[in-house]
């Protein structure tokens, strides 16, 4: 098929590409916003407009945009081999080195790594590993998995069931049986009048325990959680939450899977969100910033007790029968390995901790704005809550289209954010400077002022 030079990329896109999380009929008519170039924390559309990418695209462009260094690493890997698999004991130097680097920065007692290509694949694999573990332990009836309402853990068939958001289930015949949901740890909206964060956390841990007892502890396999809920609204856990939840899980021997696809690699101010919040995971799912989003790759990091069960099953069945064509892809592994080297050189965690006060101050200073009900964050991830009335926390009439107006206004001021319900989230590239952080919040305030004036 010949594509004429007269055909614009945007018109071809509108005619042929199916876009996720997009109104498909509207896209046929309106087409895409085309981003054609990036540098540092900025991206540029096909009309030349500059934006601060305040969401690091999909939480993932940790080193910003347009890296010659990573391009050269990818070029070298493509030239040397291009592709080889990791099935049946085969391997490449890049996959081995990356696995060792991940093991070196993983929490204590987690030094085995299973490579894949996306966060959804990592979470889907972790589901299988949880069930594999319980079969090895002689408790195959342990299949039920608990996640939190509004959690996001992927869009595969099984991971959509972990994702406890109605819009991910509608029209798909999901969720399947065996996926259980508990209250989102969203103190601002869900706490009872006068309920402290500690008391709220206690109540939520008691809810989880009551659900386990109702279902039967012998049937519950695992609890799934992001340290900070990303697509659930950037919800940081209330005081004591994970300590109380971990105690419940320990009491009944239930595995804890930490979905670190967003939180991993310094986003929360430690290498892992699990370290920020004192979580002791049995499995960690990672992706996104693993390669600074330059190339698709993900990894499940496996605790010792889970790997021991995998060894037993491999003995029993002759092999560990799981994998993907692109698992451990040498080009992706080479790029990710170089990304981890860059993180070490720049002291990624130290840099995030240095910028965090300015970042959190930016949110705090927005709380006096008439549209902002609350704000909060950790490391370099946070959000503001948009309300019609601060005292009652009432939302705006949907007919006012406040959030679409804010999206248009922020983009008009050259800032891309992540809108989640009535919350505006920021998770900029982790190379952002203090000056760039202040500029990002200045642009956000200008957008808030514009919409407040319209209302």
For residues 30 and 26, what is the distance between their CA atoms, to the nearest angstrom?
A: 6
- The contacts of residue 261 (CB under 8 Å, 6+ apart) are 119, 122, 123, 226, 230, 285, 286, 287, 288, 298
Query: Running along the chain, 455 residues long, what does each successive block of 10 average in pLDDT?
Result: 63 89 89 93 96 98 98 98 94 97 97 97 98 98 98 96 93 95 98 98 98 98 98 97 98 98 98 98 98 98 97 95 95 98 98 98 97 97 98 96 98 98 98 98 98 96
- What does R_g of the chain's alpha carbons equal in angstroms? 22
Angle at 217 between CA 215 and CA 218, to 5 degrees: 105
Kindly list the structural domains of the chain, giving each domain's residue range(s) and its CATH number in brackets, ordered by start: 33-66+347-454 (3.90.1150.10), 71-345 (3.40.640.10)
pLDDT value, residue 11? 87
β-strands 372-378, 418-420: how paired?
unpaired
pTM of the model: 0.95
Q: What's the token pair of residue 105? A: 């920065």
Helix, strand, coil percentages for the chain (3-state, nearest 5):
45, 15, 40
Look at the alpha carbons of 346, 257, 421, 119 in this order and tell me if their dihedral is positive or negative: positive
pLDDT value, residue 6? 43
């Amino acid at each position: 098929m010949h594509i004429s030079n007269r055909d614009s990329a945007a018109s071809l896109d509108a005619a042929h590409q199916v876009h996720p999380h997009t109104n498909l009929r509207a896209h046929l008519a309106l087409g895409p916003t085309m981003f054609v170039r990036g540098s540092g924390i900025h991206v540029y559309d096909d009309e030349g407009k500059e934006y601060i990418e305040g969401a690091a695209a999909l939480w993932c462009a940790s080193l910003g945009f347009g890296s010659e260094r990573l391009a050269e690493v990818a070029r070298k890997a493509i030239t040397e081999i291009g592709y080889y698999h990791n099935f049946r004991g085969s391997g490449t130097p890049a996959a081995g080195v990356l696995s060792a680097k991940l093991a070196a920065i993983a929490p204590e007692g987690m030094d085995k790594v299973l490579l894949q290509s996306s966060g959804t694949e990592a979470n889907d694999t972790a589901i299988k590993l949880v069930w594999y573990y319980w079969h090895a332990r002689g408790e195959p009836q342990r299949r039920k998995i608990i996640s939190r309402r509004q959690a996001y853990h992927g869009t595969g068939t099984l991971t959509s069931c972990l994702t406890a958001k109605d819009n991910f289930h509608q029209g798909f015949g999901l969720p399947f049986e065996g996926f259980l949901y508990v209250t989102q740890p969203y103190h601002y909206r869900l706490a009872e009048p006068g309920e402290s964060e500690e008391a709220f956390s206690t109540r939520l841990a008691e809810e989880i325990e009551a659900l386990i007892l109702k279902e039967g502890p012998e049937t519950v396999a695992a609890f799934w959680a992001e340290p900070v809920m990303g697509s659930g609204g950037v919800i940081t856990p209330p005081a004591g939450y994970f300590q109380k939840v971990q105690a419940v899980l320990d009491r009944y021997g239930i595995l804890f899977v930490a979905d670190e696809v967003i939180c991993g690699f310094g986003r929360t101010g430690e290498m892992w969100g699990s370290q920020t919040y004192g979580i002791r995971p049995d499995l960690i799912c990672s992706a996104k910033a693993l390669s600074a989003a330059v190339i698709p790759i993900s990894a499940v990091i496996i605790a010792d007790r889970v790997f021991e069960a995998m060894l037993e099953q491999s003995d029993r069945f002759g092999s560990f029968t799981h994998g993907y064509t692109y698992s451990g892809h040498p080009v992706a592994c080479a790029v990710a390995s170089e990304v981890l080297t860059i993180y070490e050189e720049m002291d990624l965690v130290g840099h995030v901790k240095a910028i965090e006060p300015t970042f959190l101050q930016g949110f705090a200073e927005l709380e006096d704005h008439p549209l902002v009900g609350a704000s909060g964050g950790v490391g370099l991830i946070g959000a503001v809550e948009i309300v019609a009335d601060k005292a009652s926390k009432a939302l705006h009439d949907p007919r006012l289209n406040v959030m679409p107006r804010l999206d248009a206004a922020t983009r008009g001021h050259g800032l891309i954010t992540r809108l989640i319900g009535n919350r505006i989230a920021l998770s900029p590239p982790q190379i952002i400077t203090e000056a760039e952080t202040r500029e990002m919040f200045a642009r956000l305030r200008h957008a808030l002022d514009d919409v407040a004036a319209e209302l």
